[in-house]
Structure 1
Amino acid sequence: MADNDAILISGATGCIGSTLARSLHADGLPLVLFGRNAESLEKVAAELPGAQVLVGDIGKADTLAGSVTFPERLGAVVHAAGICEGRPFSESDPALIREHLEVNLVGPSELTRLALPALRAARGSVVLVNSLVGLYPWPGWIGYAMSKYGLRAFAETLRLEEFDRGVRVTSIYASRVATPLQAKVHAQEGKEYVPDEWVQPETMARTIRSVLDTPRDAELKDITLMHQKYPRP
């Protein structure tokens, strides 16, 4: 990845996305901050002089083509946006499942498709923040699990299709990260939330940086990022 190739971060106002953006900006890398809330994006961008703001709704994939434009070259697209609501299948409904699929799978795939010309031009990388739920069954989270298993299939297929064009694709299967979303998850589970017990956003950002910094002679296909609270997912 050339130093002058922009890095697009989807979910740039979230805890992981904004932490990553600050890390990259500190090294002078050009940024494109993508999200649905213009005001929140501008607040993040105000801390990062030179960062470009790109407003679009990842949950409405059909609108993205008409609302977003990209630089000619993208060194990476990092997908850090997502939703998670716990509910067993017997208590679920089509609307809940559809929302998870739209935000966690359909939106990221469409944003990537639109960015492909810029990624190909720079021989860039696609980094997908997935979840251990994308690898292992987890009862009570049907919509989330369906979307994350789908994201895994998307990454595997995209990697094969774009290999000859030099576009690298990496999935990061992360355990629980200490974010406001994790606080919500714990509340849904009726459990006490102690942020220090889980993977920190800074650790997640460093992991993504390791993917972006990988030399061109190699590709990090999958990373499983475990927390130290439990020996198993």
Structure 2
Amino acid sequence: MGTYLITGATGGIGTAVAELLRERGHDLVLTARSPQRLGELAGRLRGGAHAPTQVINPEAVASSRRDASVTTIPLDLTEPLRIEASIAAAGLPPRLDGVVHAAGMVHLAPVADLEADEWIEHLSVNLVSAAELTRLLLPALRAAEGHIVFVNSTAGLRANPEWSAYAASKFGLRALADSLRAEEPSLRVTTVYPGRTATEMQRKVRAQEGHPYAEDDFAAPATVARVLVSTLELPRDAVVSDVTVRPN
């Protein structure tokens, strides 16, 4: 079984990915801003419906019966300069089979109304923290020839009115993934571009747009997570470098 670190683990897609990986018997390192929410999520994942029941490698069924560990690390991604100290204090394992960057934030506004602190927050959370955390985890990822997944957005492919700061951060995240893929040939790097997904972030976006939120109008987080985990399950002779998931 492997060990996977997930950022934004208490958000919609992050939680759904954690649930799928937990069911497959993997060890998890969950990060998010709120220690309380992390603790609640870890408690749910340690038992009940999310106990390990299946594995990526069918030949490892016996080893999957052990109780996979779930570790939590509170991280405030608005302050990238503090990530190194938090990771050092956590004492992460020397090998990581994968990192899923699922954390993100968005605030819609026209360029004329966006002040510097809003730009800084978008770039810190959505881009700089992902780059810094990746840098810090590269030794553990190299040791396992691991897999890095960046949860981007269709806004990382096209910028629309009032989405400039968010889109800029996601365009940058795409560049980070492309450069990393070329620089680290022993690692697999995947960018997932979800369209509108039924998460709390989407609820806030709809409120900012002045529209009602209806969960059925959007893709389910579990659907996006299933696509993401399928890229992790791909045999090592290939990699899904980019995949877009849009609501039907």
Q: TM-score range by the shorter chain?
A: over 0.9
Alignment check: 8 A CA contact 1:159 1:169 kept: yes
* Amino acid of the structure 1 residue aligned with 2:187: V
- Give the structure 2 partner of residue 76 of structure 1: 98
Is 1:193–2:213 an aligned residue pair?
Answer: yes
- Give the structure 2 partner of residue 31 of structure 1: 28
Shift of 1:81: 0.5
Alignment check: 8 A CA contact 1:134 1:145 kept: yes
- Give the structure 2 partner of residue 142 of structure 1: 164
- Give the structure 2 partner of residue 41 of structure 1: 38
145-154 or 12-21, larger mean C-alpha shift: 12-21
Alignment check: 8 A CA contact 1:131 1:148 kept: yes
Q: How far apart, in 2, do the equivalents of 1:67 and 1:226 lie?
A: 35
| TM-superposition CA deviations, 1:150-188 (whole Å, max 9, x none) | 00110100110001xx11111011101100110110011
- Give the structure 2 partner of residue 209 of structure 1: 229
Q: Give the structure-1-normalised TM-score.
A: 0.93
Match of 1:47, SS? helix
From 90, 94, 115, the equivalent of 1:93 is 115
Match of 2:97, SS? strand
Shift of 1:189: 0.5
45-54 or 218-227, larger mean C-alpha shift: 45-54
* Amino acid of the structure 2 residue aligned with 1:194: A
- Give the structure 1 partner of residue 8 of structure 2: 11
Match of 1:138, SS? coil
- Give the structure 2 partner of residue 231 of structure 1: none
Q: Give the structure-2-normalised TM-score.
A: 0.88
Match of 1:156, SS? helix
From 15, 18, 21, the equivalent of 2:18 is 21
Q: How far apart, in 2, do the equivalents of 1:34 and 1:66 lie?
A: 14
Q: How far apart, in 2, do the equivalents of 1:197 and 1:38 lie?
A: 31
- Give the structure 2 partner of residue 52 of structure 1: 71
* Amino acid of the structure 2 residue aligned with 1:161: E
Q: Name stretches of at least 5 consecutive residues in structure 1 with no aligned partner.
A: 229-233
User: Which contiguous aligned blocks of 4+ residues in structure 1 show a shift greater than 3 angstroms?
Assistant: none
Q: How far apart, in 1, do the equivalents of 2:199 and 2:225 lie?
A: 13
| TM-superposition CA deviations, 1:27-82 (whole Å, max 9, x none) | 11111101121111111111122201112212211111111142111110001100
Identity of aligned residues (%): 44
Shift of 1:118: 0.6
Is 1:175–2:208 an aligned residue pair?
Answer: no
